[in-house]
C-alpha cells in the first residue's frame, strides 16, 4: 500500500494519500438546499475514514440548473453558511475539503425547474425528453458569471479545491460533445468552439479565486454514443483547459444515454475507466484522478503503482465503508465492507429521494444508528445464518450481548451464497465474508449443520430468539410439477455446472433473468416464460439495461404474457395471452416465480413463551437490502 498512501501536492494543498472521495449525490438535504445535521455527519464520517480529500456533491450554480429539489445548491449567498459547516467538518477530520459546481443543462425536468431546460442546441435530453431552450450568447455569458459567483462562494465557505462538472451529459459536457452540440456560432463546430464555454468558465473562476487555488475539471473522456466524445478528443479538450487554468482532472465516462458508464453496475470490470485515465495522464502534465469501480485498495494501489493516475476516486466504496482507507492502511483488509456495485445507492436516489446502501444500512443514518453498548446483556439465539441473521448477530454482539447463530447448512450466507454463483454477482461473497469476520471479531458463536428443534431451544434457554430462516421457493400448482425435470433456482445455483443443453425458466423477474444468463453462459439454449407484459421488474435500471443486452447476445428467448399450463417429461405447455397453447421442448424446467416465508418454527417457539423476533424472508419475502436494514435496527434494539 506504499503507493496508495504516499503524499501528493496540488498547488497549495497537501494530500496525505492518493484517495479521493469524489462528488456523489446524497440528496441528504432539505428541499430548499438546506444543509442539515445529517448532511454534515455524512461527510464527516467519510472524512474521518482516512481519504486525503473529500468532495462535496455537485452544487447547482443556478436555479434552472438543478436536477432535483434535493440537490445541493450554491447559487445564492444564503447557502454559504451550510456549505461551510461541511467544509469545516471535513477539515476537522484531517481531509482536504473540496466542492463540485454544476449545471444540469438539458438533463433536468421542467417539472423540477418550472421552465424549459437550457441547452446548447435545440436537442432534448434523450432520456428525459421534452422541449429545451437553446442558450443565446448573452445567456452563455450570464452562466459564465454564475459559475464564477459559485466559485467565490465555495472559496468563502472554506473549500480548498473547486471541481467543475464537465461530464455525464450535464451542461458543460453538452457543449463539449457533438452528440449534443450542433451550434454553428463560436460555441459550436470544431473542438476549439465546443470547448469555448468550458474555457470561459475556467478563466472566470481563475479570476475570482487566488492564483494558487487549485481547480479541477471532471470530464467524460468516453461517452460511448455515436458522435460522442472519445478519449483522443477529450485529451485535445483538456489541453485547451490546462492552458485556461485547470490544475487537475477527474477522468470519468458516459452521458445521459449511457448511464451505466457513469455508475457502473456489477457487470462492469473493476477500474474499468483506468485505461482512459492512463491515456490522459500520458498526455497531460497535471494530476489525473481515476474513477470507476475502484472498490478495492489493492486495485487502487496498483493504479498508482502503474502510473495510470495520480489519484484514485473511491466513491461508492466509501459509502459502503467510510473507514476503508484507514482499514487498508492498517492492513485490516478482511474487515472492509466492500461495495458490491449493486447500485442500490443510485436506485434509492431516484425512487426514494435519498441515498441508501444495501451493505451499509447506516448510510445517511449515521447518528440514529450509532452503536450504543447495552446496559443489560442478554443471551440471544439467532436461527438462520443468512445475511439478516448474521447481521443482527454481530450488531447485537458488538453491543455486548452473547449471541449464538444456528445454521442448518454446512456454511453461512444463506441465499446470498446461491445468489453469488452467477459470474456478475460473485462480489456478493464479499458481504458474506465481511459479516462472518464481524461475527468472529465480536465473539458470535456459530453452530453449523444444526437444524434447531424445540429441545435445543429449551436447552439453550435464551433471553431472546431471532428467527431468520429465510424462504422457500414457490411452486405453481400445475400438472407435472413433481416430475424429475423440474428444478428450483436453488437447485441450479447450488449445482456445479449444468449438464443439460436446453431449459425453460419460468419467471422473468430478477432471479429468473439472472438464472437464464447464467445457464446461457454455459452454452444452454434458454427460453424465459413470464406471465406479465414486462420482464425484470424491480431490477435497478443500469443493471437491467446490461442484463437485457447480454440475454439478447446469448440469444435467450423471452416470452411475455405467457402462462405455464403443464409440465411434461420433455418440456412444458404454455398458454399465451390469446389463449393459444404452445409446447416448448426442454430437458429441464426451472421455477423462479418467487418465494414464500419459511416460518415453520415461529408458532412452536412462540408457544414456548420466549420473546421472538422475525426478520428477513421468514417474515415476508423481501430484498437483501431490506433484510440487512431490519436486522441492523433490531440488533441495536435488543
Domain residue ranges in the chain = 8-352, 379-473+597-637, 486-593
State the alpha helices, DSSP H only, in 336-425. Answer: 344-352, 387-398, 415-419
In terms of Cβ atoms closer than 10 Å to its own Cβ (0-12, 13-18, 19+), residue 15 is buried
State the helix-helix crossing angle for 191-208 and 137-156, rounded to 10 degrees. 40
User: 8-352 with 379-473+597-637: one CATH topology?
Assistant: no
The mean per-residue pLDDT over the stretch 579-599 comes to: 94
Dihedral sign computed on CA atoms, order 129, 130, 134, 138: negative
pLDDT value at 415 more than 90: no
pLDDT in tens, 423-455: 888 899 999 999 999 999 999 999 999 999 999
The mean per-residue pLDDT over the stretch 556-576 comes to: 96
Active site residues: 170
For the domain covering 486-593, report its CATH number: 3.50.50.60
| Coil/strand/helix, residue 330 | coil
Q: What pLDDT score does 351 carry? A: 82
Q: What pLDDT score does 495 carry? A: 81
Q: How many angstroms separate the CA atoms of 434 and 416, rounded?
A: 13
pLDDT value at 620 more than 80: no
Q: What pLDDT score does 272 carry? A: 96
DSSP 8-state assignment for residue 597: E
Domain 379-473+597-637 has CATH 3.60.150.10: no
In terms of Cβ atoms closer than 10 Å to its own Cβ (0-12, 13-18, 19+), residue 232 is exposed
Question: CATH number of the domain at 8-352, out of 3.40.50.150, 3.30.450.20, 3.20.20.70, 2.30.30.100?
Answer: 3.20.20.70
Number of neighbouring beta carbons within 10 Å of residue 34: 13
What is the Cα Rg of the chain in Å? 27
| Coil/strand/helix, residue 249 | strand
Q: How many angstroms separate the CA atoms of 303 and 325, rounded?
A: 15
pLDDT value at 418 more than 90: no
The mean per-residue pLDDT over the stretch 570-576 comes to: 96
Cell 473549500, located at residue: 159
Is 367 in contact with 563 (CB distance < 8 Å)?
A: no
Which of these, 469, 465, 402, lies nearest to 609 by C-alpha position? 465
pLDDT in tens, 54-112: 999 999 999 999 999 889 999 999 999 999 999 999 999 999 999 999 999 999 999 99
pLDDT value at 396 more than 90: yes
Is 236 in contact with 519 (CB distance < 8 Å)?
A: no
pLDDT value at 354 more than 90: no
pLDDT in tens, 132-191: 999 999 999 999 999 999 999 999 999 999 999 999 999 999 999 999 999 999 999 999
Q: What pLDDT score does 430 carry? A: 94
CA angle 231, 257, 345 (to 5 degrees): 100
Phi-psi region of 629 (alpha: psi -120 to 50; beta: other; left: phi over 0): alpha
Residue 600's pLDDT band (cuts 50, 70, 90)? confident
Cell of 568: 411434461
Amino acid at each position: 500500500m506504499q503507493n496508495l498512501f504516499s503524499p501528493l501536492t496540488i498547488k497549495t494543498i497537501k494530500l496525505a494519500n492518493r484517495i479521493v472521495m469524489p462528488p456523489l449525490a446524497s440528496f441528504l438535504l432539505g428541499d430548499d438546499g438546506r444543509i442539515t445535521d445529517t448532511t454534515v455527519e455524512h461527510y464527516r464520517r467519510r472524512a474521518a475514514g482516512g481519504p486525503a480529500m473529500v468532495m462535496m456533491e455537485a452544487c447547482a450554480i443556478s436555479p434552472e440548473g438543478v436536477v432535483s429539489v434535493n440537490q445541493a445548491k450554491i447559487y445564492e449567498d444564503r447557502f454559504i453558511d451550510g456549505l461551510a459547516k461541511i467544509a469545516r467538518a471535513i477539515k476537522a477530520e484531517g481531509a482536504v475539503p473540496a466542492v463540485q459546481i454544476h449545471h444540469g443543462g438539458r438533463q433536468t425536468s421542467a417539472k423540477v425547474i418550472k421552465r424549459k431546460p437550457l441547452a446548447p442546441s435545440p436537442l432534448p435530453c434523450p432520456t428525459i425528453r421534452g422541449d429545451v431552450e437553446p442558450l443565446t450568447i448573452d445567456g452563455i455569458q450570464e452562466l459564465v458569471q454564475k459559475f464564477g459567483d459559485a466559485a467565490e462562494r465555495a472559496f468563502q465557505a472554506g473549500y480548498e479545491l473547486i471541481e467543475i462538472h464537465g461530464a455525464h451529459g450535464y451542461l458543460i459536457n453538452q457543449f463539449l460533445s457533438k452528440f449534443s452540440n450542433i451550434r454553428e456560432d463560436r460555441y459550436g463546430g470544431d473542438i476549439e468552439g465546443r470547448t469555448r464555454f468550458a474555457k470561459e468558465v475556467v478563466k472566470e473562476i481563475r479570476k475570482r479565486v487566488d492564483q494558487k487555488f487549485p481547480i479541477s475539471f471532471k470530464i467524460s473522456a468516453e461517452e460511448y454514443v455515436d458522435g460522442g466524445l472519445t478519449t483522443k478528443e477529450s485529451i485535445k479538450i483538456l489541453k485547451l483547459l490546462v492552458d485556461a487554468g485547470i490544475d487537475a482532472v477527474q477522468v470519468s465516462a458516459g452521458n445521459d444515454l449511457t448511464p451505466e458508464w457513469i455508475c457502473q453496475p456489477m457487470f462492469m470490470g473493476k477500474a474499468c475507466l483506468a485505461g482512459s485515465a492512463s491515456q490522459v495522464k500520458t498526455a497531460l502534465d497535471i494530476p489525473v484522478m481515476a474513477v470507476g469501480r475502484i472498490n478495492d485498495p489493492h486495485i487502487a494501489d496498483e493504479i498508482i503503482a502503474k502510473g495510470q493516475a495520480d489519484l484514485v476516486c473511491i466513491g461508492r466504496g466509501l459509502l459502503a465503508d467510510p473507514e476503508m482507507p484507514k482499514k487498508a492502511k492498517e492492513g485490516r483488509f478482511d474487515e472492509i465492507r466492500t461495495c458490491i456495485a449493486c447500485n442500490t445507492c443510485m436506485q434509492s436516489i431516484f425512487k426514494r429521494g435519498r441515498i441508501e446502501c444495501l451493505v451499509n444500512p447506516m448510510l445517511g443514518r449515521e447518528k440514529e444508528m450509532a452503536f450504543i453498548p447495552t446496559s443489560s446483556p442478554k443471551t440471544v439465539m439467532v436461527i438462520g445464518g443468512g445475511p439478516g441473521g448474521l447481521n443482527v448477530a454481530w450488531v447485537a454482539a458488538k453491543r455486548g450481548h452473547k449471541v449464538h447463530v444456528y445454521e442448518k447448512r454446512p456454511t453461512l450466507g444463506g441465499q446470498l451464497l446461491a445468489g453469488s454463483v452467477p459470474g456478475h454477482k460473485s462480489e456478493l461473497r464479499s458481504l458474506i465474508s465481511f459479516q462472518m469476520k464481524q461475527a468472529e471479531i465480536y465473539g458470535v458463536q456459530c453452530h453449523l449443520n444444526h437444524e434447531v428443534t424445540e429441545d435445543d431451544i429449551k436447552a439453550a434457554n435464551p433471553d431472546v430468539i431471532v428467527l431468520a430462516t429465510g424462504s422457500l421457493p414457490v411452486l405453481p400448482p400445475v400438472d407435472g410439477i413433481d416430475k424429475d425435470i423440474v428444478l428450483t433456482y436453488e437447485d441450479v445455483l447450488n449445482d456445479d455446472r449444468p449438464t443439460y443443453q436446453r431449459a425453460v425458466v419460468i419467471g422473468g423477474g430478477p432471479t429468473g433473468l439472472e438464472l437464464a444468463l447464467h445457464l446461457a453462459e454455459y452454452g444452454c439454449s434458454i427460453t424465459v416464460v413470464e406471465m406479465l407484459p414486462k420482464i425484470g421488474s424491480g431490477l435497478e435500471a443500469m443493471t437491467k439495461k446490461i442484463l437485457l443486452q447480454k440475454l439478447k447476445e446469448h440469444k435467450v428467448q423471452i416470452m411475455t404474457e405467457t402462462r405455464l399450463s403443464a409440465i411434461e417429461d420433455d418440456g412444458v405447455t404454455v398458454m399465451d395471452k390469446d389463449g393459444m397453447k404452445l409446447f416448448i421442448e426442454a430437458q429441464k424446467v426451472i421455477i423462479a416465480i418467487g418465494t414464500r416465508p419459511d416460518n415453520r418454527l415461529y408458532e412452536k417457539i412462540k408457544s414456548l413463551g420466549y420473546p421472538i423476533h422475525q426478520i428477513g424472508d421468514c417474515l415476508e419475502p423481501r430484498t437483501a437490502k431490506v433484510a440487512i436494514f431490519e436486522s441492523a435496527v433490531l440488533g441495536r434494539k435488543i
